[in-house]
Structure 1
Amino acid sequence: MEKFLDNLIEAESIINKIDHMLYVTYPLVNDKKLLLKILAESKIAVVKCINYILQYEYVFKRIRLSKDTKENMRLFKVKCAPRYHITTEEVKLVSELFEIVDLHNKAPIEFRKDNKIMIFSDASNKKILEVKDIKKFVSLAKSILQKIKESRHLYF
C-alpha cells in the first residue's frame, strides 16, 4: 500500500521542482538544456501519477495489471482516466509528452533557435518546441495530480 503513496509523494515533489525551474530559474538562465530537463521531469511526474492510479485501482480490485506497459497504458486510458475525470485531451497530451521525450532521447541533433528547441531524429521526423509547449506539459502534470487528490477524497 505504501508503494503507490510513494509515487504520489514523489510526483508532487517533482511537479513542485519543475514548476520552480520553469517559472523562476529558466527566465534567469535562459538555457535550452533546462527546458529539456523540465520536459523529461514532466514525463517522470506524469508516469508516477499514472502508476499511482493504476496501483490504487489494482489494490482495490477495480483493474487487473499486466506486465506489458502498453497494455497498462491502454487500461489507464480506457478505465482509469474517466474515473479520475482526466479528459481525452489530457490523455492525448500524455501520449504526446511521452512521444516527445522518446524523440528527444533518440535524437542525434537538437538545437535552439529564436526561443524554440528543434529536435531532429531523422530527415522526416522533427519536433519544434516552444516555452509555451513546456508550460502546457507542466500544467498537464499539475492537473493530473490535482485530479488524483480530488478523487482520493471520494474514495476515503
Structure 2
Amino acid sequence: MDEISALLEKANKSIEVADHLAYVTYPMVKEPKLGFTIAEHTLSACLNATDALLAYERMFKRIDHYPNSFVSKIDIMKRDIGPRYNIERKHIFIMEDLNTILSHRKKANLEFIRRDKLVICDPDFDIRTLTMEKVKSYVYESKNFLIRINTILKSKNDRRH
C-alpha cells in the first residue's frame, strides 16, 4: 500500500506543478515552449496515477503481471480497469495523445513557434502542433482523472481499515 500512496503523491504533485505552470506562470511569461514542460508534467501525473491503480489491482490479483511499457498499461486501462471503475475513455486518449506528442518531439529535429502554436517537424516532415489551449484542456481533464483515481483508491483504502 506504501507504493500506491507514493505513486498517488507523485501524481498529485506533478499535476499541481502542471496546473501552476499553465495558469500562473504561462500568463506571466507568455513563453509558448512552456507547453512542452506542462505536457510532460501532465503525462507524468497521469502515468503515476495509472501505475497506482494498476498496483492496487495487481495487489488484489485482479490483473496479471504486465510488461512495464506505456502501450501495455494503456491497453489494460482500456480493456479491464476503465470499464470496472467507469474511467472515461477521453482520459486514456489524453495520455495517448500526450505520449505521442512528447515522443514525436524527441525524434524531431526541428521545432518552432508559429502564431502561438508549437510546431514540431520530424525527419520525415511529419508535422504536429501544440497550442496552449489544448495543453490547458489536457491539464483540466487530467485533474479530473486524478480526482477520480484518488477517490477510487482512498475509498478502497478506507474500507480496508
Q: Scaled by the length of structure 2, what TM-score is found?
A: 0.89
Quote the offset at 1:54 in angstroms.
0.5
Structure 1 residue 153, shift from structure 2 partner: 4.7
Q: Superposition pairs for residues 6-155 of structure 1, below 5 Å? A: 6-69=6-69, 70-155=71-156
* Contact kept? 1:85, 1:147, Cα under 8 Å: no
The CA deviation at 1:126 is: 1.0
Asked if structure 2 preserves the Cα contact closer than 8 Å seen for 1:107 and 1:119, the reply is: yes
How far did residue 109 of structure 1 move? 0.8
Return the alpha-carbon distance in structure 2 between the equivalents of residues 90 and 72 of structure 1: 13
Larger deviation, residues 28-37 vs 83-92: 83-92
Instruction: Return 5+ residue gaps in structure 2 as ranges.
Output: none
Counterpart-to-counterpart distance in 2, 1:88 and 1:68: 21
- Contact in 2 for aligned 1:46/1:94 (Cα 8 Å): yes
What's the TM-score, normalizing by structure 1?
A: 0.92
Q: How many residues align?
A: 156
CA contact (8 A) 2:111 2:120 kept: yes
**Runs (4+) of structure 1 moved beyond 6 Å?**
none
**How far apart, in 2, do the equivalents of 1:38 and 1:71 lie?**
24
Segments of 5+ residues of structure 1 without an aligned counterpart are none
How far does residue 55 in structure 1 lie from its aligned partner after superposition? 0.4
Three-state SS of the structure 2 residue aligned to 1:110 is strand
Secondary structure of 1:119's counterpart equals: strand
Q: Report SS of the residue matched to 1:32.
A: coil
Q: Distance in 1 between matches of 2:124 and 2:32?
A: 22
Q: CA RMSD in A?
A: 1.5
The answer to which of 60-69 and 3-12 deviates more is 60-69
Contact 2:113–2:119, Cα closer than 8 Å, also in 1:
yes
Aligned-residue sequence identity (percent) comes to 27
Q: Distance in 2 between matches of 1:45 and 1:133?
A: 17
Measure how far apart 1:50 and its partner are: 0.8
CA distance, structure 2, for counterparts of residue 153 and residue 35 of structure 1: 31
Q: Distance in 2 between matches of 1:134 and 1:56?
A: 29
Q: Provide, for residues 129-150 of structure 1, a one-character-per-residue CA deviation record: whole Å limited to 9, x for no partner.
A: 1111101221232111111122
Shift of residue 85 of structure 1? 2.0
